[in-house]
Amino acid sequence: MNAPRQARSVARLAAVQALYQMEVSGAGAEAVVREFRDHRFDADLEGETLARADEPFFGDLVRGVVAAQKEIDEAITRRLAAGWKLDRIDATARAILRCAALELRRMQDIPHEVVINEYLEIAKSFFSGAEAGFINGVLDSIARDDRTP
The whole-number pLDDT of residue 37 equals 86
pTM, full prediction: 0.89
The whole-number pLDDT of residue 104 equals 92
The whole-number pLDDT of residue 95 equals 97
The whole-number pLDDT of residue 108 equals 75
| Cα dihedral 57, 27, 25, 65 in deg (nearest 10) | -40
The whole-number pLDDT of residue 148 equals 42
The whole-number pLDDT of residue 149 equals 39
Domains and CATH numbers, the chain: 3-146 (1.10.940.10)
Regions of the chain with pLDDT less than 70: 1-4, 42-51, 146-149
Three-state SS across the chain? CCHHHHHHHHHHHHHHHHHHHHHHHCCCHHHHHHHHHHHHCCCEECCEECCCCCHHHHHHHHHHHHHCHHHHHHHHHCCCCCCCCHHHCCHHHHHHHHHHHHHHHHCCCCCHHHHHHHHHHHHHHHCCCCHHHHHHHHHHHHHHHHCCC
